[in-house]
Amino acid sequence: MPRSERERREDLEPTTGRVETSPEVVAPMPAAVLRMQESAGNRATADLLARVPARGSGKPEPIPDNVPYGTMSVEDYGQYQLTSWGIGEKANQLHVFFDAGRDASRFMVATERGMPIKGIWVYAGSRRIELKEVIIESCSVREGITELWLSSNTIKW
């Protein structure tokens, strides 16, 4: 027998009972997750966190020995040592600071023209953050340090 629309909605309503969490599950960077949730919404945040492997859920991809912590590798540009980086204001953003040297003008041109960068990798200890089809939303240079806001629809943490 087909169910009424009301019965289907009642099945989807949240329950009032508390959900117990496993002690092995730890939220990565709570403040960043909350900022992401505020700007992108619950569904986008949940989708992104579903891609982040839980502790002990698998072996991370090996990081090459010759890549120091905080290195950003930009396809067709080169490698840069980051002075600072973090998750952007939106779920699909990365915010980076580095000395681009003579390449700063290339990043400026790519920003102005909306030219996509095929791939960017940020190496952080035993983790590698991978961004594909990246757009530079904003680029500025102050006192020799280049600041980029990077946006990508595909981020692998």
- In tens, the pLDDT along 19-49 reads 454 444 444 456 666 666 676 676 666 666 5
Sign, CA dihedral 113-114-115-120, equals positive
> In this predicted structure, what is the pLDDT of residue 19?
47
Q: Render pLDDT for 89-128 as a digit per residue (tens, 0 to 9).
A: 777 899 999 999 989 999 999 999 999 999 999 998 778 8
Flag whether pLDDT at 57 surpasses 50: no
Tell me the whole-structure pTM to 2 decimals: 0.58
Where do the structural domains in the chain lie, given as residue ranges? Answer: 60-156
DSSP single-letter state for residue 53 = P
The two counts, helices (H) then strands (E), for the chain are 4, 7
Q: Domain 60-156, CATH 3.90.600.10 — does that match?
A: no
> In this predicted structure, what is the pLDDT of residue 46?
65
Q: What is the rounded distance in angstroms from the CA atom of residue 78 to the CA atom of residue 100?
A: 10
Flag whether pLDDT at 132 surpasses 90: yes
Do the bridges between strand 154-156 and strand 71-74 make them parallel or antiparallel, or are there none, so unpaired?
unpaired
Q: 39 near 91, Cβ under 8 Å?
A: yes
> In this predicted structure, what is the pLDDT of residue 58?
46
